[in-house]
Amino acid sequence: MRIVVAPGPERAVTIRTDDAGVALGSPQHFPDLPAAVRALEPEHPRWVWPDTAAVYPAVLRAGLRVQRCHDLALTAALLRTRAGEPPIDAPAPVDDRPGLFDTTPATDPSTVLAEHADQLGRIGPDGRLTLLVAAESAGALAAAEMGHVGMPFSAAAHHRLLESALGPRATGDTVPQRLREVADEVSAAFGRPVNPASHVELVAAFARDGIELTSTRAWLIRDVEHPAIEPLLRYRDLAKLHAANGWSWLDTWVRGDRFRPVYVPGGVVSGRWASRGGGALQIPKPLRTSVIADPGHTLVIADAGQLEPRILAAMSGDRLMVAAAGADDLYAPVATEVFDGDRAKAKVAILGVLYGATAGEARALLTLLRRRFPTAVQFVENAARAGERGEVVHSWLGRACPPPDERWWSTGDAHGPSDGDARARGRFTRNFVVQATAAEWALCLLADLRRRLADEEGAELVFFQHDEVVVHCRDARSATRHVLDATAAATRLLFGDTDVRFPMDIAARDCYADP
């Protein structure tokens, strides 16, 4: 059963529908959405609402959860790109700091009902697309729940990290003591005052010492012989820590010893998640020392190894690559069979297939790999050629890549894009079909794991990043079993009875940074 809900600031209207979106019976009125969920969730419906990110937090704040939903906003985005339309421009920036939210705007029940019926009609009997919509919507529920629960994060430990690296907390806009000291070291190395945060001043300072630079990026200057290099690189590390994860970040995003970021499901065109503020998907290694399980709890950290090559094996059905993907280390059998045991070359070759590397050694390695796995290589090359022609390609479940814009079509002669733009789009579509499918596999794993953990007392999903999940739990053994079962379920959902294995590297730790 489906329940279409139109939430508002003063009431929530619900309408039961059949699986085609046709209304059944009369609307029901509730004081608010939490009241509707409290009354109707025991029937285990699929809730249909405008936008999970906008409406579900109120349910969570009331101490409630739902099992399933149909997110109209996320589904509309999927259907829009499948229709060959470009993504809708991102909405105006909002203040996403934890604890700040607006009153739920009123929604017309007839509008929600009509949009739901229209979407179901456009999805039709397509089983894969139906699964994608369900997984995307389940991911939205998980994202809101993880933002609500938060990841265990010791504010005291992070304070110690900041003071150790930067010195005592400065007031106002004052630069921290350690940053000032290292900046002075940079100036001393040049023999004159130089602002290490200024590209112009740095280029000029190096030029005065006979070193011509067009860029001061770390990877370009690391091997330059000059006494300023070491303190300059150190300064940049400290400045990045202060700007991205300093005291202001701590005050904004960590409350009650919980890091509460804002996840954005489907924030990338491939279906990967993004985050808005807080940097949830880019937790630097030094910060992980502050991610500490509560007393009596453990962090179960699970990471899918070599995910995209295994996805390619399953999608292409290449017999020999499927066999290689049955091993714990996919690169090992490829190295033995193709590259005289050189695992590094096997890895370079396979990643070259995924990302379209054709220069230097990668080209020669790709030739060898094509002979061994012709079907797999042809699969991604077909996607690349389609992209070069301006066509739209799709993931396994049916997510479409954005079509090229008008500028792309006009960069070459009268017949189409320039060769460079065509090749660049080919590299994008080559990887899109695999990366988007990997995102779908991860979403299915996340959705299934979320369902399994719902009945596990003291276990919560607290982090998700592309191919990694973290569970905060009392029983690490039970959580590990749930992760492995969810991995198997996700694989069956997408690929049926495949011989491709998706091994998970699972560790139970008290601290995220522990080896």
* Burial tier of 349 (Cβ tally within 10 Å: 0-12, 13-18, 19+): buried
CATH T-level topology, domain 307-433: DNA polymerase; domain 1 (1.10.150)
Among 490, 484, 486, 481, which residue's Cα sits nearest to residue 503? 484
Per-residue pLDDT band for 282 (boundaries 50, 70, 90) equals confident
Per-residue pLDDT band for 418 (boundaries 50, 70, 90) equals confident
Cα 13–chain centre separation: 33
Q: Indicate whether 17 pLDDT > 90.
A: yes
In sequence order, which residues have a C-beta less than 8 Å from that of residue 132 and are 6 or more positions away? 78, 395, 397, 398, 399, 440
Q: What's the pLDDT tens digit per position in 375-386? A: 999 999 999 999
Q: Indicate whether 324 pLDDT > 90.
A: yes
Residue linked to tokens 């090559």: 309
Compute the average pLDDT of residues 345-352. Answer: 92
Q: What's the pLDDT tens digit per position in 117-170? A: 999 999 999 999 999 999 999 999 999 999 999 999 999 999 999 999 999 998
Gap between the terminal Cα atoms of the chain: 46
Per-residue pLDDT band for 9 (boundaries 50, 70, 90) equals confident
Report residue 503 as tokens.
Answer: 């091994």
Cβ atoms within 10 Å of 44's Cβ, excluding its own: 10
Q: What's the pLDDT tens digit per position in 350-405? A: 999 998 877 777 778 888 899 999 999 999 999 999 999 999 999 999 999 999 88
- Convert 295-341 into a string of H (helix), E (strand) and C (coil): CCCEEEEEEECCHHHHHHHHHHCCHHHHHHCCCCCCHHHHHHHHCCC
Compute the average pLDDT of residues 409-423. Answer: 76
DSSP per-residue letters across 354-407:
HHT--STHHHHHHHHHHHH-HHHHHHHHHHHHHHHTT---B-SS-PBPPPP-HH
Among 195, 276, 201, which residue's Cα sits nearest to residue 239? 195
Q: Indicate whether 22 pLDDT > 70.
A: yes
Compute the average pLDDT of residues 173-197. Answer: 95
pLDDT at 413: 64
CA atoms within 13 A on the CB side of 379: 24
In sequence order, which residues have a C-beta less than 8 Å from that of residue 56 and are 6 or more positions away? 49, 66, 69, 140, 141, 144
Q: pLDDT exceeding 90 applies to what percent of the chain?
A: 82
In sequence order, which residues have a C-beta less than 8 Å from that of residue 384 and are 6 or more positions away? 356, 426, 427, 429, 430
Q: What is the CATH number of domain 155-253?
A: 1.20.1060.10
Residues 423/454, Cβ–Cβ less than 8 Å: no
> Distance between CA 149 and CA 471 in Å, rounded?
12
Q: What's the pLDDT tens digit per position in 475-504? A: 999 999 999 999 999 999 999 999 999 999
Q: Indicate whether 47 pLDDT > 50.
A: yes
Compute the average pLDDT of residues 403-421. Answer: 78
When the pLDDT of each residue in the chain is averaged and rounded to a whole number, the result is: 92
Model pTM?
0.92
